[in-house]
């Protein structure tokens, strides 16, 4: 009642303030990005095309993070496992020299069972580490990176019979540091490629991202989607309600890992070269930072967060070396600054979430204590 | 009589991870002997590596004991130590003066940083490891900007071209490189023992062991093992956790200075980013859990883990091309952390 008697102008003002407060993180990054754009005076066409390109190739990976957040597993640093599966498939396709769309299709088909297997494995591990899934998924990524290196640096050419001088190191064991993906480069991006007055659009890649958004939104309305939410909100309540919590969590991780594998294949067909031992390492970190920049938290992430975050994070990514060059005369400063931003955003988001969760727990405890005191008082 | 029973009791007492790594070490040394590698040098290398990394491993003890858990934010202390080491170098201090100055600047810096970092960790109870990891990462990235822009003028330290910004790797040989490593060395059965380095490391271990038995040390452990009980007996749990984080951060600063003088180089920029992980792995290999750790865990873990790292490379190099020991390090250390994280109770 009091609210309705407020003058309209004040109401609008408080609405605006509310919106600002709710979207503080994306707005801050928008301001940072715009300041960078203004400071560098970049060519708007270059900026726009670069942003579209990055949005197309990265959004799939960022979207792969959503389901584990809903299911209460937090940010799945384990998507690097999916990225590794995608790369393994691309390495096989490159070895067999299957070009273009068929090569890409085969890579997607090959990486799927691998990613499902790895996702199942990761889900089993994370079920044994409830309450510390994030750190565990991160260490799991490091661990599997070791296994990945063991396979592609020492087993290829020995246990795995592969003879391909173009791909292997000179002694015939282990893959070279970089693999040329020229055969499948842009096989998706340039299949339908629109150029409209200076802007270029990789239509199918953008459509793939859009399709994934639609599927994820549809999934949220199914029984499985409800189960994810129920498990994410309270595992015990979900268990009592007859949901198989462990199984639901494993499914969430499997979906996430598989989407990440496809995302990495899409990403690399755009880049065109594979850094055999590095391409996957940063995938988790950058995708997570992008999602958080979009205003997501450890417990709540939407498709909109993912898309806005990918856009803003990569805007900053494009701009900061130029800004560092322009403002301080050193592009390196900008590069370290953006790394700092990526890590800092994650640190702040994790910290804030843990702090809020703790406040909730403390409030609940105080309430229980009060109730107990009342009961004993009677 | 009951050979199998006593064997399994022995295995349980020692612990499966230590048994496996111990057996692997025996295997490495047998191969080294067959391949006629110089054993005295291998053993010296193992001792040097253990002692130069040991204090960084020791830094894990206070936080684990106080219930903060594995201190993945160790780089917070490491960069403080680096600042001390850089200032000593900037003013051309040599020998023990340089080493002492590096510590004298690094320790108070780390204490302040630890105080702030500890305040943060007290607000995020339950998620200290994850938050700590990313605080460490962001501090390292933020300090990279400082290394580029900081007011360092010594031509030995900055880029030749451009005249500003610290180089990636700074050579300490003209300053205080190897001061500890060259002090009090002696030979035992033909093996060169780095007396000064080992003594320095072990005296820190002794100090920690003594501290844990003092009233404050015991209060700290109590705050970790049973916070509610500790609070009821009048211990301020938050202050104890703060103290533990400060101690750990200070040990991180001391640890990196000792490490750098032994290595002979200061590594800047992204180098400190993953500094916490080998230390975490080492103390877990030594038998610590995410909630309980002792100085003995440090000594055993550092010795096993770093002896393995020091000997695996020269030994495997005689057998095959490529550096498989690096891959083994990644798998063993992260596998160990994974094992510790998935063991025991789930839930919060």
Residue B279 DSSP label: H
Cross-chain residue pair A358–B322, CB shorter than 8 Å:
no
Q: B342 contacts in A (CB within 8 Å)?
A: 125, 128-129, 136
Taking the CA of residue A266 and the nearest CA in chain B, the distance in Å comes to: 28
Which residue reads 């309980």 in tokens? Answer: B292
Cross-chain residue pair B341–A136, CB shorter than 8 Å:
yes
> Could you tell me the CATH number of the domain that includes residue A172?
1.10.3470
Q: What is the pLDDT, as a whole number, of residue A193? A: 82
Which of B145, B269, B334 lies nearest to residue A139, judging by beta carbons? B334
Which of B130, B320, B322 lies nearest to residue A135, judging by beta carbons? B130
Cross-chain residue pair A343–B335, CB shorter than 8 Å:
no
pLDDT digits (tens, 9 = 90+) for B225-257: 988 999 998 889 999 999 999 999 999 999 999
Which of B140, B321, B346 lies nearest to residue A171, judging by beta carbons? B321
Rounded to an integer, what distance in angstroms lies between the CA atom of residue B250 and that of residue A237? 44
Taking the CA of residue B342 and the nearest CA in chain A, the distance in Å comes to: 5
Establish if B34 belongs to a structural domain: no
Q: Is A253 exposed, middle or buried (CB count within 10 Å of its CB: 0-12, 13-18, 19+)?
A: buried
Return the residue of A nearest to B329 by Cα: A146
Rounded to an integer, what distance in angstroms lies between the CA atom of residue B307 and that of residue B182? 20
Return the residue of B nearest to A357 by Cα: B124
Average pLDDT over residues B5-33: 82
Rounded to an integer, what distance in angstroms lies between the CA atom of residue B28 and that of residue A329? 51
* Strand partners for A199: A196
Under 8 Å between Cβ of A238 and A227: yes
Which structural domain range is residue A303 located in? 41-377
Establish if B1 belongs to a structural domain: no
Q: Tell me the pLDDT band of B345, cut-offs 50, 70 and 90.
A: very low
Which structural domain range is residue B164 located in? 17-29+39-342
Q: What is the pLDDT, as a whole number, of residue B87? A: 92
Under 8 Å between Cβ of B208 and B61: yes
User: From chain B, which residues contact A within 8 Å (Cβ)?
Assistant: 72, 120, 123-127, 129-131, 133-135, 137-138, 140-142, 144-145, 148-149, 165, 269, 277, 320-322, 324, 327, 330-331, 334-335, 337-338, 341-342, 346-348
The Cα-based distances of B251 to B57, B142, B257 in angstroms read 9, 21, 10
The Cα-based distances of B103 to B88, B171, B187, B309 in angstroms read 9, 18, 29, 27
Q: In chain A, how many domains are there?
A: 1
Cross-chain residue pair B331–A328, CB shorter than 8 Å:
no
ipTM confidence: 0.84
Which of A336, A342, A358 lies nearest to residue B145, judging by beta carbons? A336
Which residues have CB under 8 Å from A13's CB, separation 6+? none
Rounded to an integer, what distance in angstroms lies between the CA atom of residue B160 and that of residue A31? 36
pLDDT of chain A, 378 residues: tens digit per residue? 445 555 677 777 777 777 777 777 788 888 888 888 888 888 888 888 999 999 999 999 999 999 999 999 999 999 999 999 999 999 999 999 988 889 999 999 999 999 999 999 999 999 999 888 998 999 999 999 999 999 998 888 888 888 888 888 888 888 888 888 888 888 888 888 888 888 888 888 999 999 999 999 999 999 999 999 999 999 999 999 999 999 999 999 999 999 999 999 999 999 989 998 888 888 888 899 899 888 888 888 999 999 999 999 888 888 887 877 777 777 778 778 878 877 888 888 788 778 877 888 888 888 888 887 776 654
Establish if A118 belongs to a structural domain: yes
Which of A139, A332, A343 lies nearest to residue B134, judging by beta carbons? A343
Q: In chain B, how many domains are there?
A: 1
Q: What is the pLDDT, as a whole number, of residue B346? A: 36
Under 8 Å between Cβ of A283 and A270: no
Q: Tell me the pLDDT band of B102, cut-offs 50, 70 and 90.
A: very high
Establish if B184 belongs to a structural domain: yes
Q: A174 contacts in B (CB within 8 Å)?
A: 322
Q: Tell me the pLDDT band of B347, cut-offs 50, 70 and 90.
A: very low
Q: What is the pLDDT, as a whole number, of residue A132? A: 86
Q: Is A82 exposed, middle or buried (CB count within 10 Å of its CB: 0-12, 13-18, 19+)?
A: buried
pLDDT digits (tens, 9 = 90+) for B164-184: 788 888 888 888 888 888 888
Lowest mean pLDDT among A285-299, B275-289, B315-329: B315-329
Under 8 Å between Cβ of A269 and A187: yes
Residue B190 DSSP label: T
Cross-chain residue pair B134–A146, CB shorter than 8 Å:
no
**Predicted structure pTM score:** 0.86
If you count them, how many residues does chain B have?
348
Q: What is the pLDDT, as a whole number, of residue B348? A: 33
Under 8 Å between Cβ of A138 and B337: no
pLDDT digits (tens, 9 = 90+) for B80-96: 999 999 999 988 888 88
Q: What is the pLDDT, as a whole number, of residue A2? A: 47
Q: What is the pLDDT, as a whole number, of residue A136? A: 92
Q: What is the pLDDT, as a whole number, of residue A1? A: 41
Which residue reads 């087993």 in tokens? Answer: A155
Which of A131, A145, A337 lies nearest to residue B145, judging by beta carbons? A337
Rounded to an integer, what distance in angstroms lies between the CA atom of residue B253 and that of residue B131? 20
Q: What is the pLDDT, as a whole number, of residue B298? A: 95
Cross-chain residue pair A150–B137, CB shorter than 8 Å:
no
Which of B123, B327, B342 lies nearest to residue A358, judging by beta carbons? B123
If you count them, how many residues does chain A have?
378
Which of A147, A332, A350 lies nearest to residue B148, judging by beta carbons? A332
* R_g (Cα) of chain B, nearest Å: 21
Establish if B83 belongs to a structural domain: yes
Q: Is B155 exposed, middle or buried (CB count within 10 Å of its CB: 0-12, 13-18, 19+)?
A: exposed
Per DSSP, the three-state class of A163 is coil
Under 8 Å between Cβ of B293 and B60: yes
Nearest to B182 by CA among B198, B167, B171: B198
> Could you tell me the CATH number of the domain that includes residue B155?
1.10.3470
Cross-chain residue pair B327–A340, CB shorter than 8 Å:
no
Return the residue of A nearest to B348 by Cα: A131
Chain centre distance of CA A190: 24
To 5 degrees, how large is the angle CA B67–CA B70–CA B74? 120
Taking the CA of residue B282 and the nearest CA in chain A, the distance in Å comes to: 15
Q: A336 contacts in B (CB within 8 Å)?
A: 141, 144-145, 148, 269
Neighbouring CB atoms inside 10 A of A7's CB total 8
Cross-chain residue pair A339–B144, CB shorter than 8 Å:
yes
Chain centre distance of CA B109: 18
Lowest mean pLDDT among A17-26, B65-74, B183-192: A17-26
Per DSSP, the three-state class of A91 is helix
Higher pLDDT pick, A365 / B117: B117
Rounded to an integer, what distance in angstroms lies between the CA atom of residue B89 and that of residue A83? 43
Chain centre distance of CA B233: 33
Q: Which of A124, A336, A362 to probe by mutation at the B interface, max B CB count within 10 Å? A: A336
Establish if A2 belongs to a structural domain: no
Which of B123, B330, B348 lies nearest to residue A131, judging by beta carbons? B348
Per DSSP, the three-state class of B148 is helix
For residue B308, pLDDT beyond 80? yes
Q: In chain B, which ranges are E strands?
A: 169-171, 186-188, 191-193, 265-267
Under 8 Å between Cβ of A81 and A122: yes
Which of A129, A150, A358 lies nearest to residue B346, judging by beta carbons? A129
Establish if B347 belongs to a structural domain: no
Under 8 Å between Cβ of A254 and A120: yes
Taking the CA of residue A340 and the nearest CA in chain B, the distance in Å comes to: 5
Q: Which of B131, B137, B140 to probe by mutation at the A interface, max A CB count within 10 Å? A: B131
Q: B129 contacts in A (CB within 8 Å)?
A: 132, 135
Return the residue of B nearest to A277 by Cα: B327
Q: What is the pLDDT, as a whole number, of residue B38? A: 86
Rounded to an integer, what distance in angstroms lies between the CA atom of residue A205 and that of residue B23? 52
Q: Is B172 exposed, middle or buried (CB count within 10 Å of its CB: 0-12, 13-18, 19+)?
A: buried
DSSP for A213-238? HHHHHHHHHSHHHHHHHHHHH-HHHH
Establish if A20 belongs to a structural domain: no
Q: Which of A339, A341, A356, A364 to probe by mutation at the B interface, max B CB count within 10 Å? A: A339
Which of B320, B324, B342 lies nearest to residue A125, judging by beta carbons? B342
Establish if A24 belongs to a structural domain: no
Under 8 Å between Cβ of B135 and B76: yes
Residue B274 DSSP label: G
The Cα-based distances of A232 to A237, A243, B56, B264 in angstroms read 10, 12, 37, 50
CB contacts < 8 A, A to B, total 133
Q: What angle do helix axes A283-293 and A24-40 make, rounded to 10 degrees?
A: 100
Establish if A30 belongs to a structural domain: no
* Strand partners for B186: B193
Cross-chain residue pair A344–B138, CB shorter than 8 Å:
yes
Taking the CA of residue B204 and the nearest CA in chain A, the distance in Å comes to: 29
Helical (H) or strand (E) element with B215:
helix B215-225
Cross-chain residue pair B134–A332, CB shorter than 8 Å:
no
Establish if A96 belongs to a structural domain: yes
Establish if A351 belongs to a structural domain: yes
Establish if B294 belongs to a structural domain: yes
Return the residue of A nearest to B134 by Cα: A347
Which residue reads 């209460």 in tokens? Answer: A72
Return the residue of A nearest to B270 by Cα: A336
Q: What is the pLDDT, as a whole number, of residue B5? A: 77
Cross-chain residue pair A336–B165, CB shorter than 8 Å:
no
pLDDT digits (tens, 9 = 90+) for B191-225: 888 888 999 999 999 999 999 999 999 999 999 99
Under 8 Å between Cβ of A100 and A184: yes
Establish if B249 belongs to a structural domain: yes
Under 8 Å between Cβ of B71 and B245: yes
């Amino acid at each position: 009642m009091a609210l309705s008697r407020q003058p309209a102008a004040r109401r609008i003002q408080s609405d605006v303030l509310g919106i600002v407060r709710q979207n503080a993180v994306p707005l801050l990054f928008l301001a940072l990005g715009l300041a960078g754009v203004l400071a560098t005076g970049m060519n708007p066409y270059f900026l726009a095309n670069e942003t579209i390109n990055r949005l197309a190739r990265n959004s799939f990976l960022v979207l792969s993070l959503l389901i584990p957040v809903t299911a209460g597993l937090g940010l799945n640093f384990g998507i690097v496992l999916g990225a590794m599966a995608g790369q393994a498939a691309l390495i096989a396709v490159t070895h067999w020299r299957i070009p273009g769309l068929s090569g890409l299709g085969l890579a997607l088909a090959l990486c799927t069972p691998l990613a499902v297997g790895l996702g199942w494995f990761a889900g089993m591990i994370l079920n044994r580490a409830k309450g510390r899934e994030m750190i565990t998924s991160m260490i799991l990524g490091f661990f599997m990176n070791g296994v990945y290196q063991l396979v592609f640096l020492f087993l290829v050419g020995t246990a795995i019979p592969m003879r391909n001088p173009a791909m292997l190191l000179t002694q015939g064991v282990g893959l070279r540091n970089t693999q040329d993906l020229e055969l499948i480069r842009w096989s998706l991006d340039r299949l339908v490629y629109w150029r409209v007055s200076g802007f270029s659009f990789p239509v199918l890649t953008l459509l793939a991202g859009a399709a994934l958004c639609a599927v994820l939104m549809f999934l949220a309305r199914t029984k499985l989607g409800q189960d994810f939410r129920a498990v994410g909100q309270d595992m015990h309540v979900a268990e009592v309600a007859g949901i198989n919590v462990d199984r639901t969590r494993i499914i969430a991780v499997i979906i996430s890992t598989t989407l990440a594998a496809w995302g990495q294949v899409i990403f690399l067909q755009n880049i065109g070269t594979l850094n055999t031992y590095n391409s996957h390492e940063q995938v988790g970190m950058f995708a997570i930072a992008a999602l958080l920049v979009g205003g997501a938290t450890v417990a709540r992430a939407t498709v909109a967060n993912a898309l806005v975050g990918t856009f803003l994070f990569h805007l900053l990514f494009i701009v900061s070396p130029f800004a560092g060059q322009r403002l301080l005369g050193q592009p390196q400063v900008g590069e370290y600054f953006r790394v700092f931003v990526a890590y800092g955003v994650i640190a702040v988001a994790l910290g804030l979430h843990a702090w809020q969760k703790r406040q909730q727990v403390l409030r609940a405890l105080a309430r229980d204590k009060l109730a107990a005191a009342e009961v004993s008082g009677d | 009589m009951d050979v199998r029973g006593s064997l399994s009791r022995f295995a349980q007492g020692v612990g499966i991870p230590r048994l496996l790594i111990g057996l692997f070490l025996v295997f490495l040394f047998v191969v080294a002997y067959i391949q006629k590698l110089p054993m005295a040098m291998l053993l010296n290398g193992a001792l040097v590596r253990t002692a130069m990394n040991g204090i960084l491993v020791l830094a894990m003890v206070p936080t684990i004991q106080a219930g903060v858990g594995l201190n993945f934010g160790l780089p917070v202390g490491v960069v403080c130590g680096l600042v001390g080491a850089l200032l000593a170098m900037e003013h051309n201090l040599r020998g023990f003066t340089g080493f002492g100055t590096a510590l004298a600047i690094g320790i108070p810096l780390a204490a302040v940083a630890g105080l702030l970092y500890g305040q943060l960790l007290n607000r995020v109870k339950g998620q200290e490891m994850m938050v700590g990891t990313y605080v460490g990462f962001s501090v390292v990235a933020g300090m990279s900007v400082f290394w580029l822009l900081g007011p360092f003028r010594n031509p030995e330290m900055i880029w030749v071209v451009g005249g500003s910004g610290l180089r990636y790797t700074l050579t300490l040989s003209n300053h205080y490189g190897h001061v500890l490593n060259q002090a009090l060395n002696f030979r035992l059965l033909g093996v060169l023992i780095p007396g000064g380095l080992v003594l320095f490391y072990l005296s820190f271990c002794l100090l920690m062991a003594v501290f844990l038995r003092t009233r404050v040390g015991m209060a700290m452990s109590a705050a970790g093992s049973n916070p509610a009980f500790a609070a009821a007996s009048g211990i301020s749990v938050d202050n104890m956790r703060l103290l533990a984080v400060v101690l750990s951060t200070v040990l991180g600063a001391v640890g990196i200075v000792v490490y750098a003088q032994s290595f002979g180089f200061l590594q800047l920029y992204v180098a400190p980013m993953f500094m916490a992980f080998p230390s975490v792995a080492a103390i877990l290999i030594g038998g610590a859990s995410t909630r309980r750790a002792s100085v003995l865990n440090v000594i055993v873990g550092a010795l096993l883990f770093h002896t393995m790292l020091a000997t695996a490379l020269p030994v495997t190099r005689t057998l095959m091309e490529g550096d498989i020991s690096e891959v083994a390090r990644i798998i063993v250390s992260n596998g160990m952390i994974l094992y510790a994280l998935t063991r025991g109770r789930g839930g919060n």
